[in-house]
Structure 1
Amino acid sequence: MVEKIRVGMVGFGLAGRVFHAPVIQSVPDLQLTHVVERHGEESRRVYPEVEIVRDVEHLLEDDEIDLIVVTTPNVSHFEIARSALLADKHVVVEKPFTITSEEARELTVLSHRQGRVLSVHQNRRWDGDFLTVRRVLEANLLGRLVEYESHFDRYRSQPRAGAWREEAQPGAGLLYDLGPHLIDQALILFGAPQLVSADIRTQRDGGKTDDYFDLTLHYAEHGARLKAGVLVREPTPRYALHGVDGSFVKYGLDPQEDALKRGLVPSETPGWGEDPEERWGVLNAQAGGLHVRGKVETLPGCYPGYYQNVADAIHGRAPLEVTPEDATMTMRVIELAIESSREKMALAFEE
Structure 2
Amino acid sequence: MNVKLGIIGFGGMGKWHAQNAPRAGVEIAAVCDIDPVKQQEAVEMGYKMYPSAEELLRDDNVNTVILTVPNYLHKEMCIKAAEAGKHVITEKPAAMNVQELDEMEAACKKAGVFFTSHQNRRWDKDMLIVKKAYDEGLLGNIFTIESKLHSGNGYMHEWHIYKKYGGGMIYDWGVHLIDQILFMMPQAKIKSVYADIKNVLHEEVDDYFKIILKLDNGVTAHIELSTYILEYQPRWLAAGDKGTLVVKNFGCEGNIYRTGKMLEKLPPQITETEAGPTRQFAPVPPGGIVTEPLPTVETDWVNFYRNVVDVLNGKAESLIKISEVRRVLSVMEAAWKSAETNEAILFE
Q: Please report the TM-score for the alignment, with normalisation by the length of structure 1.
A: 0.85
The DSSP-based 3-state class of the residue aligned with 1:25 is helix
Cross-structure match for 2:277: none
Instruction: Describe the superposition over 1:6-63 as per-residue Cα deviations: whole angstroms up to 9, x where unpaired.
Output: 1000001122123x221112212x10110012132212223x1x21001111222222
Cross-structure match for 1:219: 215
Cross-structure match for 2:344: 346
Q: Which amino acid aligns with 2:63?
A: D
In the alignment, structure 1 residue 281 sits paired with structure 2 residue 247: no
In the alignment, structure 1 residue 237 sits paired with structure 2 residue 273: no
Cross-structure match for 1:149: 146
Regions of 4+ moved over 4 Å: 289-292
The DSSP-based 3-state class of the residue aligned with 2:128 is helix
Cross-structure match for 1:316: 314
C-alpha contact (below 8 Å) 1:142/1:245 kept by paired residues? yes
Picking from 98, 101, 114, the partner of 1:101 is 98
Cross-structure match for 1:55: 52
Q: Which amino acid aligns with 1:7?
A: L
What is the CA-CA distance between 1:66 and the residue it aligns to? 1.1
- Cα distance in 2 for partners of 1:179, 1:158 equals 16
What is the CA-CA distance between 1:291 and the residue it aligns to? 7.9
What RMSD over aligned residues (CA atoms) do the two structures have, in Å? 2.0
Cross-structure match for 1:121: 118
What is the CA-CA distance between 1:297 and the residue it aligns to? 5.0
What is the CA-CA distance between 1:108 and the residue it aligns to? 2.2
Structure 2 CA distance for partners of 1:117 and 1:343, relative to 1, 3 Å: same
Which stretches in structure 2 are left out of the alignment for 5+ residues?
263-287
- Cα distance in 2 for partners of 1:132, 1:181 equals 16
C-alpha contact (below 8 Å) 2:237/2:247 kept by paired residues? yes
What is the CA-CA distance between 1:234 and the residue it aligns to? 1.4
- Cα distance in 2 for partners of 1:159, 1:318 equals 38
Picking from 2, 5, 19, the partner of 2:3 is 5
C-alpha contact (below 8 Å) 2:94/2:117 kept by paired residues? yes
Cross-structure match for 1:186: 181
Q: Which amino acid aligns with 1:219?
A: L
Higher radius of gyration, 1 or 2 = 2
What is the CA-CA distance between 1:159 and the residue it aligns to? 4.9
In the alignment, structure 1 residue 66 sits paired with structure 2 residue 39: no
Counting only pairs closer than 5 Å after superposition, residues 124-203 of structure 1 correspond to structure 2 as 124-160=121-157, 163-191=158-186, 192-203=189-200
Which stretches in structure 1 are left out of the alignment for 5+ residues?
254-274
C-alpha contact (below 8 Å) 1:203/1:210 kept by paired residues? yes
Instruction: Describe the superposition over 1:301-349 as per-residue Cα deviations: whole angstroms up to 9, x where unpaired.
Output: 3110111111111111111001111111111111111110010000012
The DSSP-based 3-state class of the residue aligned with 2:62 is coil
Name the count of aligned residue pairs.
316
Structure 2 CA distance for partners of 1:292 and 1:128, relative to 1, 3 Å: same
Q: Which amino acid aligns with 1:231?
A: Y
How high is the sequence identity, in percent, across the aligned residues? Answer: 28
Q: Please report the TM-score for the alignment, with normalisation by the length of structure 2.
A: 0.86
- Cα distance in 2 for partners of 1:113, 1:240 equals 44
Cross-structure match for 1:17: 15
